[in-house]
A and B are shown apart, each in its own frame.
Chain A
Amino acid sequence: MWTSAASPTGPDSGELAERQSRGAKHVPPWFRLFRSELRLVFCRPRNLALLGVLAFIPVALGVLFKLSLSGPGGGGGPAFLNQVAGNGVFLGLAVLVLMLSLFLPLAVCVVAGDAIAGEASHGTLRGLLAVPAGRTRLLAVKLASIVLFALASCLLVVGVAVLMGVVLFPVGRVTLLSGTTVPLSVGLLRVLFVALYAAAAMVALGSIGLAASTLTVHPVGAIAAALVIVLASEIADAVPQLSAAHPFLPTHFWLSFDGLFRAPVDWSGVQHGLLSFAAYLLIFGAVAWARFTSADVAS
């Protein structure tokens, strides 16, 4: 009885017809759910507002830099800022460094913390699980959408910033931190790598947010928890007495991408960073999975 009933044979006639009409427009089921998830994340008014803010800040910062650099007493800003006057491409990096301290983590925490807890608070989680969407499958799709959101926000920030740099500042061959000069195309490619590296950092943070999201039915709680982890980590990273613990902090390697602007490329910082991000993704992904696949859904 189990075997015959377990295989999805013996469906009603409607389902047979459904299956026969399949083929013309074949969409794999996981992709359907993923597409639906992307629509949910990227069409939600709140998230669009977040992306709007992420796009606006580089514009504002670009104008601000232009004003401060052309005025008396220019320079002395954050890393890469001094290079901006010489080459607009560096605006992408300067802006990214600034945005990584608050705005980018905030945006990613909002989306990640909302992933499961948001569905629970809307009462949509029980509906999805009763479909059944499958808990592991739903979590994987949620993580994938967080990855895409992190990627989109980092590329958006860097893209708008570089665009502003091109508009407001002179652009040409890029002088690297090591003093060597490379063609503009190579310089832009390196900026792209930096954006991807920052996205990887945000994915690691997103996995922390996702894990927090499986622990509560209040999205605000999950978002706040993830942000508190970011702030606590940044504070601990600034305390020299804790230097032994620094490499294990989630935010420690977020800015370790300057090696990409040397010739030859110094990979050590980036490698350590990616290793740290992968470890965080693995640990908190596992926490989220263990929690979500076993928890009672009473929301």
Chain B
Amino acid sequence: MTSRDEVVFGRPARAAEDAPRAAANCALSSAGLSKRFRSGQLAVDSVDLAVPTGSVYGFLGPNGSGKTTTIRMLLGLIQPTAGSYEVLGLPMPDGLPYALPRVGSLVEGPGFHPYLSGRANLARQDAADRTANPATASARIDAALGRVGLLAAADKRYGAYSLGMKQRLAIATSLLRRRELVILDEPTNGLDPQGTREVRGLIRQIAADGTTVFLSSHLLAEVEQICTHVGVMRTGRLVFQGTLEELRGPGAGRVVVRTPRPELAAEILGGELQLADVRVSGLEVSAELGSILPETVCERLVKAGVPVAGLETPRRSLEEEFVQLTGEGFDVD
């Protein structure tokens, strides 16, 4: 697991120094992973990923921040120009043939032959896997189709599928076998709210089976609901990596007290409780909580005779964090 001191806001997480240690229980890890395209554009700039085994890792970033390029490198589709990476503990690219059969993936939207049925498309994917057992193929294909709710449409031409069905078929390919890691690149892209809910439910199921999920997305709500860990990309750099809690704010944040006697409250907070950064604005007093519990604050205030009309510990919204990390122009939708 990522320890708290690795979290550095506004700078790349310091996974590089910890890479050898981290790799031992990481489903995915990289050190200095970079890709410079022939055009000279540095699409991915020394990314140090550490995706803990068993986590649901949200890989966030605006469009064009290098998420898909990173995923393509992890899957051996494109060659990094610098850096190293491991998938399921195997150094790449040498371990590719051994690691990838244990990894399910969906990269940049569904891609299938339009004139083949959904079932035939899955059969083709399975036939390409030299480690899959042909004797169980049809049972596994039906099971995967069943899990994404496509059994009824299994023999329809893929070209006649709706966008939601296409997306679900793409997820089904990653369910053809038991996987240790599933990499999903924007799996809810272009889905209606219902489809999004279905896919989110599927991801929860996959994670509940003990599979590590690496989920690339630019939907904050999605990540907030299902992810345990988060990595944030900005213009090719990993600007944050840690748990969702760590992203939401260091420590417990601030406490805000609403009271008709703000001066007295400020005195207690700053004096008796020794909270830092005490601010008064109108009838509200706020201060940094530090290690003190909000209930303690309330108790002391009341004992000191401060009439407490309200007390809350507001969290900065995830959106605020992202805008701070990735700058303006982040497409939040």
Contact = CB atoms under 8 A, between A and B. Distances in A.
Interface of A: 1-2, 5-8, 12, 14-15, 18-19, 21-22, 24-25, 27, 29-30, 32-33, 35-36, 39-40, 44-45, 122-134, 137-138, 294, 296-298
Interface string B160-190: 0000000000000100011000000000000
| A122, A123, A126 pick with most chain B CB within 10 angstroms | A126
Contact of A24 (B77, B109, B135): B135
Nearest to A132: B100
Contacts of B113: 40, 122, 124
Interface string B112-137: 11111000100111011111111110
Given A15-B177, A32-B127, A297-B72, A126 B108 contact: yes
A132 B96 contact: yes
Contact of A8 (B89, B98, B107, B120): B98
Contacts of A2: 90-91, 95
Given A5-B90, A6-B90, A44-B115, A21 B107 contact: no
Given A6-B90, A132-B100, A132-B101, A126 B133 contact: no
A166 B130 CA distance: 47
B75 interface: yes
Contact of A127 (B76, B95, B103, B173): B173
B79 interface: yes
A131 B125 contact: yes
B133 A5 contact: no
Contact of B95 (A6, A18, A30, A131): A6
A179 B66 CA distance: 73
A8 B96 CA distance: 12
B190 to A, nearest CB: 14
Interface string B74-107: 0111110000000011110001111011010101
A-side interface mostly? helix
Given A45-B115, A123-B111, A297-B77, A130 B100 contact: yes
14 contacts: A6-B98, A21-B135, A21-B136, A24-B135, A25-B134, A40-B124, A122-B114, A126-B108, A127-B112, A129-B76, A130-B76, A131-B101, A134-B97, A298-B77
A126 B107 contact: yes
B110 interface: yes
Nearest to A46: B115
Contacts of A12: 178
A128 B136 contact: no
Contacts of A1: 89
Contacts of A128: 125, 128
A133 B108 CA distance: 19
A124 B120 CA distance: 13
Contacts of B79: 294, 296
Nearest to A36: B127
A123 B133 contact: no
Interface string B125-151: 101111111111000000000000000
A29 B129 CA distance: 8
A133 B178 contact: no
A122 B135 contact: no
Contacts of B127: 32-33, 35-36
Contacts of B111: 122-127
Contacts of A130: 75-77, 100, 103, 105, 107
A12 B131 CA distance: 13
Nearest to A44: B115
B222 to A, nearest CB: 22
Contacts of A36: 123-124, 127-128
B100 A15 contact: no
B278 to A, nearest CB: 53
Contacts of B95: 2, 5-6
Nearest to A30: B130
Given A126-B77, A130-B75, A297-B77, A32 B134 contact: yes
A123 B158 CA distance: 13
Contacts of A129: 75-77
A29 B130 contact: yes
Contacts of A25: 134-135
Given A6-B98, A123-B110, A130-B105, A18 B76 contact: no
Contacts of B135: 18, 21-22, 24-25
Given A5-B98, A29-B129, 11 more contacts: A12-B178, A15-B178, A18-B132, A18-B133, A29-B131, A32-B130, A32-B134, A126-B77, A127-B173, A131-B100, A134-B130
